[in-house]
Amino acid sequence: MGSVQLSCVLILALIAYGHGLAVGTPECPEKYGVQAYAHTENCDQFFLCTNGTLTLETCENGLLFDGKGAVHNHCNYNWAVDCKGRHWDPTPISTPGCEYQFGLYAVSKECSTTYIKCAHGEPHEQDCDAGLAYDERIHGCNWPDQLLEHCNPEAVVGFKCPTKVDPNSVAARFWPFPRFPVQGDCHRLITCVEGYPRLISCGEDKVFDEHTLTCEEPEYASGGCANYGK
């Protein structure tokens, strides 16, 4: 179905729902599967087609619709959505620990490696990945050296970067971002950025090679992590 036909269908649906007219059930563009379409006026509402059945849905408090969200019922966090002129009510429905019923929040104003995720007004404390701290500006976890106003990267990562390295060492090959092993950890390494440590993951399928300071396939790695997991 073309975009003009789709628009006509959704406009008819809006009229039927908005005025409660008994004009029959509006038809969905697709008869099978699940499709979601933006409301033309309201950013916190959308049309949902489920196997040909059309319903008008409203996002939960703290969520809006942009066609990309998967936080809850096809909706996304309000700060992540560009409404492009569509309207929504920003009034929060607050509960202890949650400004909105759905949202992400800092545990405190101090440096924290955890954050609060609110769902249905219930706060749940979540961990950042190792070596990261929560950043309110991006509503997510970030390198602690990007949060120097209240974070100490050395405390978060557990490593102090040296001011210089042996020019003949393997670490010197990566200068100005020298690398170092993480004691007892085959899946991560430390790299120093402007004098601050960052904990880097090799990913699930690779391990750290302590001789080359790179991430390799387990069968090609040397040192203590060679054939790790075999």
Give residue-wise pLDDT tens across range 83-131: 999 999 999 999 999 999 999 999 999 999 999 999 999 999 999 999 9
Report whether pLDDT(70) > 90. Answer: no
Task: Determine the pLDDT at residue 82.
Answer: 95
Question: Tokens 């949202």 belong to which residue?
Answer: 103
Q: What is residue 163's DSSP assignment? A: S
Which uninterrupted H or E stretch holds 9?
A: helix 3-19
Distance CA 56, CA 128 (A): 36
Q: What is the pLDDT of residue 221?
A: 80
CB of 207 within 8 A of CB of 221?
Answer: yes
Structure tokens at 129: 């990945």
Rounded Cα distance, 158 and 27, in Å: 59
Cα 230 to Cα 179: distance, rounded to the nearest angstrom: 26
Q: What is the pLDDT of residue 147?
A: 97
Q: Is the pLDDT of residue 17 over 60?
A: no
Residue range 59-80: average pLDDT? 94
* E runs forming strands in the chain: 34-38, 45-50, 53-58, 63-64, 76-77, 103-106, 114-119, 122-127, 133-135, 140-142, 179-181, 188-193, 196-201, 207-209, 214-216
Buried b (16+ CB within 10 A) or exposed e, 10-21: bebbbebbeeee
Q: Report pLDDT digits (tens) over 55-66.
A: 999 999 999 999
175 Cβ contact list (under 8 Å, min separation 6): 165
Would you give the DSSP letter of residue 73?
Answer: T
Q: pLDDT tens across 134-190, in order?
A: 999 999 999 999 999 999 999 999 999 999 989 989 998 999 999 999 988 989 999
